[in-house]
Structure 1
Amino acid sequence: MKKWYQLDIERVEQKLHVVTSKGLTQKQVEKRRKEFGPNVLEGSKKVSKGLIFLKQFQDFMVLVLLAATLIAGMLGEYIDAIAIMVIVLINGFIGYFQEQKAENSLEKLKELSAPMANVLREGKWEKIASKDVVTGDVVRVYSGDRIPADIRIVQSNGMETEESALTGESLPVAKHATAISSDDLDPQDQLNMGFKGTMVTRGHAIGIVVGTGMHTVMGQIASLMASTKKVPTPLERKLAELGKILIFLALMLTLLVVIVGIYQGHPVYQMFLAGVSLAVAAIPEGLPAIVTVALSLGVQRMIRKRAIVRKLSAVETLGCASVICSDKTGTMTENQMTVKSLFLNGKNLSVTGDGYDVIGDYYVQERKIDRHFPNLEMMLLYGMLCNNASLFVRKGKYYVDGDPTDGALIVAARKLGLSMELAESFRIIKEIPFDSDRKRMSIILEDENKRRFLITKGAPEVLLPRSSYVMEANGRTLLKHANKTNIEAAIDHMAEKALRTIAISMKPLSKNASLDADFLEKDMTFIGLFGMMDPPRKEVKGAIAECQAAGIKTVMITGDHAKTAKAIAENLNLLPNDGKVIDGQQLNRMSVDELEAVIDDVYVFARVTPAHKLKIVQAFQAKGHVVAMTGDGINDAPAIKASDIGISMGISGTDVTKEASSLILMDDNFATIKAAINEGRNIYENIRKFIRYLLASNVGEILVMLFAMLLALPLPLVPVQILWVNLVTDGLPAMALGLDQAEKDVMRRGPRNPREGVFSRGLGFKIVSRGIVIGIITLIAFILTYDHSAHLVHGQTVAFATLVMAQLIHVFDCRCEQSIFDRNPFENMYLVLSVLSSIILLLIVIYWQPLQPIFHTTFLSGRDWLLILGLSAIPTFLFGFTKK
C-alpha cells in the first residue's frame, strides 16, 4: 500500500473524499471527529480527584492534629475529637475545591492559548482551534505558523519548515507538492509532507490533512512529549519561603505557650491539644492555595478583558512594567488599512472611501478620473496580483482574510472596477514571500499570451535603488535624478500626512530567465506609490494617557516611515515636545550602549526590523526598566522572549510568537494591555491584602494565648474554638479579599519595584501592630468577664466572640492601603456576604444548644455584646485614621 507522500494530489483527494478547492462539508467534519476524536496528543494522566482530596491531609501539622484527635478520643474526649475531625474535613474540602478551581482555570487557559488553524470548509476559509481539525481538512499555513496536523502539501509557495522537534535538525526544509516514488522514506525526507507541531519558517502552503492527534508522526513519539510540571511564579516561590519562616516562628511561639502553660499548672494533654490547634491556626497553610486561586481568578477577569495569560508569572510582572513597546499597526490602529493617495506618472492622486468597503473614487486635484487614466489600471492590477489576501463579504460587511496592507491594495483595485476574476487569468510561476528583513515581496506571473513578468512591492527606499526605469504617462523611461527627487518628495509628502507608503515595480522576463531573487529584483521599472492610512483606535489615546499617569512610558515601534510614525504618535499624544524619533538606519549605526544613553528620550522607533526590537528591549532593560514588548511575526519571537512581559497578537500573531509570549491580546488592542496592567497591579495588591489579614489574625490568636499564660490565667480559647476561627473567620473573608476591586488610584501610582518585598510599604508594621492590639483586646474581654472557674465558659465565649468580631471588622481595614474610610465597604459584596456568613455561623455555635458543649460556648447577653463590639472596633478605629 502506497504512503501519502507517494500519491499524487488527485489520488489523495479521492482517498479522503475531498476537493482541494472546496474543503470538507460540515457533515463530513462531524463524522470524522466522531471516528478519530480531537486533534490532540495524549498527555500524562491526570491526578484523580480522590488523590487531590487526600493530598489536603498530607500537611505535617494536619497529621499531628489528627494524631492529637485520636489521643483525645482514646482519653474519652469524644465531643472534642469529633468536632476537630469535622473541622479538619471541612478544611480539606475547602482546600480541594480551591485546588480544583485553580486547575480548571489553568486548563481553560491552555485551551484558549492553543494554536489556531486556517481551514477551508464548504468553500469558505475559516479560523478554528487546531484541536478541531479532522482528517481530510484543507488547511493553509503561513510563515510563523505551527502545522496543525500531518498534511500532504498540494500547493507550496516557497514554504520551508523547521522540523527539529522530529529530527533534531534545526536547518529549514524546503517543501514542494510533487509525489515522491521512493519507498520507506523517513519523515525528514518526505519533502511533500508537513508534520504536526513543526514550524513554517518561510513562505506559505495549502495541504490536505492525512493524520490527526495520535495518528501523526508527532503522535508516534508522544511519549517524548510528557506534559511539563506547573512552574511556580516568583511570587509563589517568595511566599513559600515566607511560609517556612512563619512556620518556624509560629512553632516557636506555640511551643512557648505550651511550656508556659504546663509550668503554670495546666494539664499536659490540654496544653498539647491547645498547642497543636494553635499551630494549625497560626501557620498560614492556606496561603499558597489562596494565592493560586487569586491568580487564577485574576486571569479569568483578564480573559473577560480580552487578554489571555499564558504564564502566571506575567500577572505579577505586569504591576512592575515601566515601558510598553507597542507595534503601531493593529495595536494602536484599527488594522483596516485604506489607500488614500497614489503617486503615479509624477502626479498625486487622491482616493475616497474608508475601511474595506469597495465604494470610492479617484481624483487628480479636483477632477474625477477613471480606469483610462495612464498606468492607473496597470498599477492597481499589479497591486492585486502581488498579493496573498482575499476580500469577502459577511452579513453585508467587507472583511479581509490576510495582511491588511494586501487587503488595502485589493480594495483600491475594486474601487476602480477591477475584479478578482481578472487576477485569476494570470498563472503564478514563483513567489518570493515578503520578509521583514528584505521588506519586499515578489511574484513571477505568466499572462494569457505566455509572457512572463515580475511584480515587486515593498518599502520605497528598498525598491527605488533596485529600479533603473520609471513608468511615465508616455511609457517607460530611464530613472533619472529628477525622477528620484520627485518620488522622494512624494514619499515625504505622504509621510507628513501620516500615510504609510508602499512602492510597486515590475520587470519583463524571458522564459529562460533565472528565477534567483538577487537577479530578478534589480533593473526594475518603478511604477508608483500607494499612500495608505490605518486610523488610530478611538480608545488608544485615553489608554496611553492612563499609562502615562501610572508612570509607564509608551513607545511606538513601526515599520512605517519616520514622518508617518511621528504624525500618528503626535495624534495619540504619545510623543512629547522633546521626545525623539529614531529610524532603522540610525539604529544600525548605534551600539546597544549608545542606544542606552538616549533611549529614555525616545518615544518612536520607525522603519525597524524585528532584529532591532531585540536591541531596543536590551537597551531599556540595561537602564533598569521592566519592558513589555508586543509582536506578531515569527521574527518578533526573540524580542518577545527577551522582554520581561512578551505580548503577542491573538488575531494577527503567529503560533510561534504566541508560544514565546506571556500574554496574548485577543483583540490585538493596545487598550487591552493597559487593562491587563491594571488587573495585574490589582491582583498583586489583593494578595498583599489577604496576607495582611491572615497574618494579623494569626498574630492576634497566638498572642492572646501567650499573654494569658504569662499572666497565669486559664486558657481564654479552647482548641476547637481556635480551629473554628481558622476555618470560618480566616478562610472565607481572605478568599473574598482576593476578589476585591482595584483601588481608584491603582493606575495613578508608579510601577512597583520588582525587587520589592511582600512586607514593603509598611505592611510588616500593619500586621504586627494590628495583631498585637487584637490579642490584647481579646485578653481584656476574657479578663473582664471571667472572675472564677464557674464563669470560665462565659469568659471563653466572650473572648472567642471578641476575637472573631475584631478580625471581621479588621478585614475591611485590609482593603485600603491608606485609611478604612477611603473606600465604600459595599463595593466588594463578596466580602460583605462572607463576613455576614461568618457572623451567622458564630451566632449558631453560641446560641444553638446542641453545639454549645462541642464549642464550649454559652448564651451571651446584650451587655456582653456591647462589650464585644466596643472592644472589637478598637484596632480598626485606633489605626483607621492613620496611614500606617
Structure 2
Amino acid sequence: MGLTEKEAAERLSVEGENVLGEGRKTGPLKIFLGQFRDIMVMILLGATVISVLLGELSDAVTIILIVLLDAVLGFMQEFRTEHTLEALRSMTSPTAKCWRDGKLKEIPASKLVRGDIVEIEAGDRIPADCAVLKASGFFSDESVLTGESSAVEKSAGAEEDTDNSLNRPNIVYCGASAVKGVCRGKVIATGMDTQMGKISGMLRDIDKEPTPLQKRLAELGKAVAVICLVVCAAVAGAGILRGENIFDMLMTGITIAIAAIPEGLPATVTIALALAVSRMMKQKALVNKLHSVETLGCTSVICSDKTGTITENRMTVTELSTADEDYFFSGMGYRVSGAVTRAGDIAVNPVTEKGLIEALRCGVLCSTAEISTQEVPKSRNRGSLAGKGEWSVAGDPTEAALLIAAAKAGITKSLLSSKCSVLGEYPFDSETRFMAVHCGFGSDKRIYFKGAEEVILPRCSMYMNGRGEKIPLTASFRRKLEEKASEMSDRALRVLALAVCGSEKMEPERRDLVFLGFAGMTDPPREEAKAAIRQCAAASVKTVMITGDHKNTAVAVAKKAGLLKGGMAITGEELNMLSDEELDRDIGKYTVFARVEPVHKLRIVRSFKRRGEIVTMTGDGVNDAPAVKEADVGVAMGVTGTDVTKQAADVILMDDNLATLVNAVEQGRCVYANIRKFVRYLLSCNIGEVLTMFLGIVMGMPMILLPVQILLVNLVTDGLPAIALGMEPPEEGIMSRPPRRSGEGFFAGGLMWKIVIRGIFIGLSTLASFTTVMRLGGSAEACRTAALITLVVSQLIHVFECRSESRSLFRMNPFGNMKLVGAVLISGAVLAAAVAVPQLRMVFGTAALGMADLLIALGFSAAVPLVSSVISR
C-alpha cells in the first residue's frame, strides 16, 4: 500500500517539499541598512558631512550617535519580531502518518508527495490536499480556508478524482483539522499546489504602501530641508548686506541651519513606537512592523473575522426545549460555571424535572467527546455549577457542548456509567443524519437517538412531559414542535433532536420513538468583543464582520454582538453582482458580509481604502491572508492563526481577542498624539534657537551663544525631556474622538501656528535676557550665560505645555507624567552644573551670575508661558 521510499524520493526531488513558498528572509545587514532610508535620517547624515567640513567635530559626533541610536532601535525591533515569528511558525510544523514500503510510518509533512497514502484521525492537522479513499464518521474543520465555522463531513470518492477545488465532500484540505472520525486519503496536491498554497500565492501581488505616519514624517523632513535652506540663505544674505565676508557668512548660515535640524526627532519617534510596542506586548499584541502601531491609531474601519474573534469559537448549548417547557443555560463557551433556568430567569431543580433530566441523559450517552477539569467544580445548589477556569475538551465540539450543558444540571458521564452500560452504538452517518446508542439500566434496555430535527421528529409517536410521562403525539402537537424547531433555527441556533425508545436489542430504524426535546446551540459572541464594538462605535470606528458562514447565522451573531444597528447584510454572491463603482458607493451601508471567499475579502478591503478609510483587517485562516496583507493594518490571530496569515500581518493578537485590538488602537492614537507633542516641542525649541542667533546677527550684536553652548542646549533639551514626553499616558477621552482623516496633514489643528508663535517667544525672551544684562553692565560671558539659562529654562517649561493640545499649562496636573518631571530635573541639574562648576564654566564659556542677573534670566523664562497663556485665551 502506498509508495515505496524510492518512488517518494524521486517525486520529492522533482516536485519539491510540501511547504508553502516563503519569501527570501531579510538578513540582519539588510534590516540594519533599511533604517537609513528615512528622509530625516538622510538630512541628518548630510548635516554630519557638512559639520565635519566646517570642523565642528563635536556636532558631527553628536548627530551620528543619534542616527546610530535610531537605527539600532529600529533594527532590534524588526530583528526580534522576525525571530518571534519564526518561533511561531516552528510551533505549527506538522507530521503525517503515511504508508511507505507497505508500513505505516510517521514522517515530517514536508516530505509528503503526490500519491502517498495517509491516515488521518480526530485531532490531526491535515498535511496536504487528499482525495478520501475511506472514511468512518469523519468530519473536518475547514474554517481556515472557507471561514465556515461548522465541521464538514467527508466521504469516499473516486480514487482518480484529483480536483482539489474548495467545498468538495470527497477532498480534505491542507491546514484543515480533523475533528471527528478516521480517514484514509491519497495525496493529490502538495506545497503551493494545495488550496492553502494557492491563496498564499495571492500575497505576492500585494505591495505594502507607506503608513500615514511615514508619509507625515516624510513631509516633515521635506519641510525641515526647506527651512534649513531658507535659514542659510537669510543669515548669509543679512551678513553680506552688512558687508561681512561672503564665505564667513555662508559658513555661519550653514551652521545655524544645522542647529535648526531637530536631531533627536527620528530617535524619539522610534523610541515612542518601541515603548508602545512593549506596552502592547504586555496586553497580548505582538507588533510585527513598528510603524503599524501608529497606523492603528487612525483606523476608521475594522474588518473582523467572526469565528474566534467576535465569537468564542466554542459551540454552547444555550437552551433546551422539551415538549412543555423551555430551559436556558448560562455560562458561555467552555467556562465551568453556569446554571439552568426557566423563562424569566427562574431557578430550576433538575431532580424534579424528569423530562429535562432524560433529555440531558440522552445528550450525554449519545456523545463520544470527553470533558474534564483540574479542580472538581462545586454545585451551589441543584441546577447551578460554580468553578474557576474552563473545561478541557476532547472530541467533537457539538457533543462536548451537550456534555457541558448536562454537567450544569449535575449529569456527567462518570455518574451515568455507574448506573448504565453501553451495549452498542450506531455512529452518525451523513445519509441517516442521526446516531443511536443502546444502553442497559439493569434489566431496562433503551436506545437513545440524537440527530437532525427533520429526521428524528417524524419517527416519534409519543413525547415525554415534565413528569416523565409518555403521551401520544397528535398532529397538532407535532406541528407545534416543528414550529418551535423552525423558530430556534431562525435565531441561528443549531438544533438537534433528542429521543428514546425501549428495546432489548439495537434497532436504529425504530419508528415509535419518544420525543425528549430540542437542544439549541450556538457559537456565542465574546463578552469582551461586545464591549470592544461599543468602544469602537464611541470612537467613530466602524466595525464590520466578514465571515464564510450562512447569512442568517451571521446576522444573528451580529445582532447579539451589537454590530447590526442600522447596518445591512450582504453575501459574496450578491457582491459579485455589484461593480466596483456600485460597491464603493454602497459599502458604507453594510456591517455584515456573509458567505464570502478570499477574493471577496480582498475586494471589500480595497473598496473601503478607495473611499479614503484606514482599514484594519483581522483574520486567522489562509483565506484571510490576502486581505490581511492588503489592509493598512493586517492583524492575525496568534492562537488559531495559520503561518501564512501571521507572516502577512502587521500585528498578531496572542489571545485572538477583539478587545485586545481595540486596546492597540488606543495605544496607536496615544503614540500619534505623543509624536505631535514632541514634534511641537522640538520644533518650537529649534525655532527659538535659530531666531536667537539670526536676530543677533541681523541686529549687529555680539555672538549670542557660542557653538558649544548651542550643543549644550540641544543636549539638555532635545534628549531626555522629548523622550519622556513620548511616554505621556493617553489623554482622557482619547477613544471618544473620531479618528483623523487619512489625508490630514501633520500640522493640522493649528499646530504649526502654535510652534511658530512659541518659537518666536522663546527667541525674543532669550534676546531680551541677553540685552538686559548687557545694559546693566554685564560681561559678554554673563550676557551669554543669562541667555543660555533663559533659553533652556523656557524650553523646559514649554515641555509641560506640550503635554496637551487642548489644555493650558495651568489646567494640568504637573505630576501627571513623573518620567517627564524626572527628565526635566536631570536637564536642570546639567544646566546648573554648567554654570556653577568652575571646570565646566571653562568648557562651556559660562560665568557665575549675581542674584539680579539670575532673576532676570529666570523672569524672562517664566514670562513666556504667561504671555502664551494670555494669547491662547
TM-score (norm 1): 0.67
Deviation track 1:684-730 (CA, whole Å, cap 9, x = no partner) reads 11111121112222222222222122212222112122222223312
Amino acid of the structure 2 residue aligned with 1:820: L
1:235 aligns with 2:213: yes
Question: Would you say the 8 A contact 2:273–2:291 is kept in 1?
Answer: no
- After superposition, the Cα gap between the structure-2 partners of 1:51 and 1:626, relative to the gap in structure 1 and judged at 3 Å, is closer
Q: How far 1:42 moved relative to its partner?
A: 10
1:384-403 Cα distance to aligned partner (Å, 9 max, x none): 45x7xx64534555223688
Equivalence for 1:102: 74
Work out the CA distance in 1 between the residues paired with 2:328 and 2:207.
58
- Counterpart residue identity of residue 52, structure 2: L
CA change 1:654–1:625 in 2 (3 A) is same
- Rounded Cα–Cα distance in structure 2 between residues aligned with 1:545 and 1:473: 48
Q: How much has 1:611 moved relative to structure 2?
A: 7.0
**Cα deviation 1:333-387 (Å, max 9, x = unaligned):** 555543133468999676687645499889999953489958x7666565x45x7
The answer as to whether partners of 2:305 and 2:618 remain within 8 angstroms in 1 is: yes
Which residue is 2:54 aligned to? Answer: 68
Determine the structure 2 residue equivalent to 1:662: 650
> Is 1:253 the equivalent of 2:235?
no
Contact 1:322–1:553 (CA<8 Å) still a contact in 2? yes
- 8 Å CA contact 2:66–2:267 kept in 1: the answer is no
Amino acid at match of 1:46: P
Match of 1:582 in 2: 569
What is aligned with 1:368? 353
Q: Does 1:315 align with 2:293?
A: yes
Task: Report the more deviating stretch, 529-538 or 417-426.
Answer: 417-426
Report the Cα distance in structure 1 between the residues aligned to 2:851 and 2:423, rounded to whole angstroms.
90
Q: Percent identity?
A: 36
CA–CA separation in structure 1 for the residues paired with 2:527 and 2:303:
19
2:726 aligned with 1:748? no
Q: 1:42 to 1:535 in 2, by over 3 A?
A: closer
State which drifts further: 699-708 or 352-361: 352-361
* Contact 2:48–2:64 under 8 Å retained in 1: no
Per-residue CA shift, 1:604-655, capped at 9, x if unaligned? 5677777765565566556554343433333333444444433333333333
Matched with 1:781 is 769
- Is 1:678 the counterpart of 2:666? The answer is yes
Instruction: State yes or no: 1:824 paired with 2:813.
Output: yes
1:560: how far off? 7.5
Which residue identity lines up with residue 45 of structure 2 in the other structure? Answer: D
Change (3 A) 1:849 1:42: farther
Alpha carbons of 1:650 and 1:201: their partners in 2 closer, same or farther (altered >3 Å)? closer
What amino acid sits opposite 2:647 in the alignment?
E
Q: Among residues 286, 290, 315, which one is paired with 2:264 in the alignment?
A: 286
SS at match of 2:317: strand
For residues 109 and 760 of structure 1, what CA distance do their matches in structure 2 show?
A: 33
Q: Does 1:46 align with 2:32?
A: no
**What CA distance in whole angstroms lies between the structure 1 residues aligned with 2:423 and 2:756?**
77
Q: Which residue of 1 aligns with 2:540?
A: 551
Structure 1 residue corresponding to 2:828, chosen from 839, 857, 873:
839
Task: Specify the alignment match of 1:879 in structure 2.
Answer: 868
Q: 1 CA distance for matches of 2:719 and 2:109?
A: 46
Select between 863-872 and 403-412 the one with higher mean Cα deviation.
403-412
The answer on whether the counterparts of 1:650 and 1:666 sit within 8 Å (CA) in structure 2 is yes
Farther-moved stretch of structure 1 (647-656 vs 784-793): 784-793
Question: Which stretch shows the higher mean deviation, 758-767 or 399-408?
Answer: 399-408
Shift of 1:752: 0.6
Question: What's the CA shift for 1:679?
Answer: 0.9
Report the 3-state secondary structure (helix = DSSP H, G, I; strand = E; otherwise coil) of the residue aligned with 1:812: helix
Q: Determine if contact 2:724/2:820 at 8 Å carries over to the other structure.
A: yes
Partner-residue secondary structure (3-state), 2:767: helix
* CA pair 607-505 structure 1, distance change in 2 beyond 3 A: farther
Equivalence for 1:341: 319
Q: Deviations over 1:500-519 (max 9, x none)?
A: 3255899xxxxxxxxxxxxx
**Partner SS, residue 827 of structure 1:** coil
Q: Is the Cα contact below 8 Å between 2:350 and 2:356 reproduced in 1?
A: no
Distance 2:525 2:428 in 1: 38
User: How far does residue 259 in structure 1 lie from its aligned partner after superposition?
Assistant: 4.7
Deviates more, 1:653-662 or 1:754-763: 653-662
Q: Is the contact between residue 782 and residue 798 of structure 1 (CA under 8 Å) also seen in structure 2?
A: yes
Which residue is 2:487 aligned to?
492
Measure, in 1, the Cα distance between the counterparts of 2:576 and 2:395.
Answer: 34
Q: How does 1:436-475 map to 2 (within 5 A)?
A: 470-472=458-460
Letter in 2 for 1:582: A
Is the contact between residue 498 and residue 518 of structure 2 (CA under 8 Å) also seen in structure 1? no
- Aligned residue for 1:871, secondary structure, equals helix
For residues 26-55 of structure 1, give each alpha carbon's deviation from its aligned partner in whole angstroms, at most 9, with x where no partner exists.
Answer: xxxxxxxxxxxxxx9995653499999999
Report the equivalent of 2:619: 631
Query: How far apart, in 1, do the equivalents of 2:361 and 2:32 lie?
Result: 71
Q: How does 1:76-225 map to 2 (within 5 A)?
A: 85-86=57-58, 88-114=60-86, 116=88, 130=91, 150=110, 155-156=119-120, 200-204=174-178
Kindly state the Cα deviation for residue 674 of structure 1 after the two structures are TM-superposed.
Answer: 2.0
Report the counterpart of residue 222 of structure 2 in structure 1: 244
Deviation at 1:776, TM superposition (A): 1.8
Q: What's 1:717 paired with?
A: 705
Q: CA separation of 1:503/1:583 partners in 2, compared to 1, >3 Å: closer, same or farther?
A: farther
CA offsets 1:88-125 (integer angstroms, 9 cap, x no match) = 445544443443333323334334445647xxxxxxxx
Distance 1:834 1:780 in 2: 27
| Residue 306 (structure 1) aligned with residue 281 (structure 2) | no
2:120 maps to amino acid:
S
Figure out how many residues of one structure are paired with residues of the other and give that number: 731
Amino acid corresponding to residue 62 of structure 1 in structure 2: T
Q: In 2 relative to 1, CA 412–554 (structure 1 residues): closer, same or farther, beyond 3 Å?
A: same
Q: 2:644 & 2:313 partners in 1: Cα distance?
A: 21
Q: Cα deviation per residue 1:270-312 (whole Å; 9 max; x = unaligned)?
A: 7566444423321234323322222222122222222222334
Where do 1:23-38 residues align within 5 Å? none
Deviations 1:389-437 (A, max 9, x none): x64534555223688656424535777544799999989999x9xxxxx
State the alpha-carbon separation in 1 of the partners of residues 490 and 645 from structure 2. 29
For 1:202 and 1:442, the matched residues in 2 are separated by 23
Residues 443-473 of structure 1 show CA distances to partners (whole Å, capped at 9, x for unaligned) of 999999xxxxxx998xxxxx789x6984425
**Separation (CA, whole Å) in 2 of partners of 1:626 and 1:346:** 52
Contact 2:284-2:655 at 8 Å conserved across structures: yes
Deviations 1:247-284 (A, max 9, x none): 23213312432453465466778756644442332123
Tell me the distance in 1 between the aligned counterparts of 2:58 and 2:423.
76
Which stretches in structure 2 are left out of the alignment for 5+ residues? 9-21, 99-106, 135-161, 163-172, 184-203, 342-347, 377-388, 440-448, 464-474, 500-514
Which residue of the other structure, out of 619, 636, 639, is the alignment partner of 1:648?
A: 636
Residue aligned with 1:200, SS: coil
Shift of residue 757 of structure 1?
A: 0.9
Distance 2:457 2:484 in 1: 18
Cα distance between partner residues in 2 of 1:445 and 1:103: 61
Give the letter for the 1:743 counterpart: E
Amino acid at match of 1:847: A
Give the counterpart of 1:736 among 724, 730, 740.
Answer: 724
Structure 1 equivalent of residue 689 of structure 2: 701
Q: Give the secondary-structure state (helix, strand or coil) at the position aligned to 1:747.
A: helix
Distance in 1 (CA, whole Å) between partners of 2:625 and 2:633 is 12
The answer as to whether partners of 2:235 and 2:252 remain within 8 angstroms in 1 is no
Deviates more, 1:551-560 or 1:746-755: 551-560
